[in-house]
Structure 1
């Protein structure tokens, strides 16, 4: 009996070399992202944005950080074309056009926040490899600083435009909040958005539920420090959740797709609304169909986060693992299946990766 062997097909040398160059470039960019996460955490971009061209010694003196490490980090940022370097003066400069998307409160949004997500994937690589091998999942406790990163993301994609753009787009919602209603944030994380609304609308009553004790503890401490008496946070697993006739308004911010039972949660939230109640859901706005996401902003990163976080988190709870890119089509279908008759879809210029649904039973 003869043994057949596989002969690799011939390949186009030029195409192969071009692809190898692309991968080498991606590796270089990944290294920049890893160092960018460190720079963001240390506030280096914020400092550089406020300084004229400066030497590594001057930057170290300004930040109180070790000059040798500052110099090495600046070399990465220089080779990555993030920072400009003048070899004659040995000075480094962050152009204002670059600072516009790398600093806290940046006009184009702080993209350096998301460099921390790429670093997080590396931190949990062993856990993710095990998920591939066993088909199992993970828990929120496996992800260092996850809620800290999500709170930063919420600050710029939700809170920064919540009162000027988001709520005004939902007819009647801000007026009802001002008059005084009962509001739930389902999967509130550190509760940043809920706290902001509680301070803006003191006549309303706000409650945040989340599965993670560390996130709730942080939210409770921040609410105490702010003297917010109309907001309450509670550790609660939302699996099977339903409090009939309990809420006038329910929010979920980027929280549904990684639940154990997303459809069950939406059903329970629909059943918890009072007559005339409203459910506002923000989630990733990509399509359920891969071919439709080729030009979607940061699609590869979102799929990577899905593989390393959202899918295993759901599977770890015994869920189906819809993943980050579950798709607006899936979300809308689930809202209809839950009995929502009126479903509005909104997208905002400041937030190109998310879709917002306003739904009424």
Structure 2
């Protein structure tokens, strides 16, 4: 190796990049600690406490003090929790709690932090895919459906009635009068259950390929006493129900599919003439250079590599990935028979685009 290879380096640029890497190291550690704080409900508990010692926090949470104290060390040095070195007390500022507790709803960043520890469990398998190709199936992702349900509650359910449903012209009026609605890739059914409760004159069906998720959905619907909703384990690339539904929804679903083009074809075929399709998907471009200014792009590509792309490839699928993007999404919708596609954004949601389109009458 040449001993003089580094002589032409811009040392200032190298130092700046080193600082960036150092920050990434610390922030990576904090993402794990924030996830733990969320799962252990420490942020929720601390948001209701004044300045407290580690023992008081641990007692209130019913947790081991030694672990709580070490976790607090990460939170204090990471600038998330404040510390009084004289009184040896800790305090979660309300301005921080507004972005870290379950009460924060869609603003709760702690929910999102869970993805990184979850995805880390398949790192060895992903590395093998880099070498051998193929993919990692859903079954390898521990806690996936649990975290996805929590994430979906924040991104979909919290804004469903106020923000999302109004994006589709006339949809709420139709729901009130009574129509047939299908949600594909419904997961644990949280959004569909809320719609079924709010619009008792309409009939709701949820399809998902996961038996675990459908089991959760059925149990939740039964607990709510809903009789206008049905959940079924179903490959959504094989709906095969011509002109059966007035509305079909797909929340953060299409880019994961093994056969996304066929799913969209099936959606078009399953809609009645004049029926509406409402699709939520990731706010990104199909072109990497157009994602340079996207504040969430590194996360999107990470989650794609570690989950969205690989679960599709594991089924021998297209592997669209999280950043399949607005351009390709519109092209595929049009190819599936939807002539006019409206793409909308919500001011409070930087993660998603909302596609609305109508089947030709």
TM bucket, shorter chain: over 0.9
Return the offset for 1:285: 1.3
Asked if 1 retains the 8 angstrom alpha-carbon contact of 2:105 and 2:154, the reply is: no
4+ long deviations beyond 3 Å:
4-9
Asked if 2 retains the 8 angstrom alpha-carbon contact of 1:100 and 1:107, the reply is: no
Q: Which runs of 5+ in 2 are unaligned?
A: none
1:105 is paired with a residue of what secondary structure? helix
Asked if 2 retains the 8 angstrom alpha-carbon contact of 1:60 and 1:70, the reply is: yes
User: Residues 268 and 54 (structure 1 numbering): CA distance in 2 closer, same or farther, change over 3 Å?
Assistant: same
Residue deviations 1:157-182 (CA, integer Å, cap 9, x gap): 11111111211232200110111111
Aligned equivalent of 2:301, options 282, 300, 303: 303
User: Residues 72 and 177 (structure 1 numbering): CA distance in 2 closer, same or farther, change over 3 Å?
Assistant: same
Aligned equivalent of 1:252, options 243, 250, 253: 250
Asked if 1 retains the 8 angstrom alpha-carbon contact of 2:106 and 2:155, the reply is: no
Asked if 2 retains the 8 angstrom alpha-carbon contact of 1:257 and 1:310, the reply is: yes
Match of 1:76 in 2: 74
Asked if 2 retains the 8 angstrom alpha-carbon contact of 1:297 and 1:353, the reply is: no
Aligned equivalent of 2:192, options 194, 215, 238: 194
1:260 is paired with a residue of what secondary structure? coil
Distance 1:269 1:331 in 2: 14
Return the offset for 1:108: 6.3
5 Å matches for 1:272-287?
A: 272-287=270-285
Q: TM (normalized to structure 2)?
A: 0.96
Mapped pair 1:137 → 2:141: no
Asked if 2 retains the 8 angstrom alpha-carbon contact of 1:242 and 1:269, the reply is: no
User: Residues 354 and 221 (structure 1 numbering): CA distance in 2 closer, same or farther, change over 3 Å?
Assistant: same
5 Å matches for 1:93-112?
A: 93-106=91-104, 109-112=107-110
Mapped pair 1:159 → 2:157: yes
User: Residues 6 and 142 (structure 1 numbering): CA distance in 2 closer, same or farther, change over 3 Å?
Assistant: farther
> Aligned-residue CA RMSD in angstroms?
1.5
Asked if 2 retains the 8 angstrom alpha-carbon contact of 1:103 and 1:112, the reply is: yes
Mapped pair 1:338 → 2:349: no
Distance 1:317 1:248 in 2: 30
**290-299 vs 187-196, which moves further:** 290-299
User: Residues 242 and 102 (structure 1 numbering): CA distance in 2 closer, same or farther, change over 3 Å?
Assistant: same
Distance 1:27 1:118 in 2: 13
Distance 2:338 2:92 in 1: 49
Match of 2:113 in 1: 115
Residue deviations 1:273-309 (CA, integer Å, cap 9, x gap): 0111000000001001111112213210111000000
Match of 1:65 in 2: 63
Distance 1:325 1:254 in 2: 12
Asked if 2 retains the 8 angstrom alpha-carbon contact of 1:100 and 1:108, the reply is: no
**307-316 vs 286-295, which moves further:** 286-295
Aligned equivalent of 1:12, options 10, 19, 23: 10
Aligned equivalent of 2:312, options 305, 311, 314: 314
Aligned length: 358
Asked if 2 retains the 8 angstrom alpha-carbon contact of 1:258 and 1:321, the reply is: yes
Mapped pair 1:207 → 2:196: no
Asked if 2 retains the 8 angstrom alpha-carbon contact of 1:105 and 1:156, the reply is: no
Distance 2:83 2:70 in 1: 13
Distance 2:291 2:355 in 1: 20
1:326 is paired with a residue of what secondary structure? helix
2:107 is paired with a residue of what secondary structure? coil
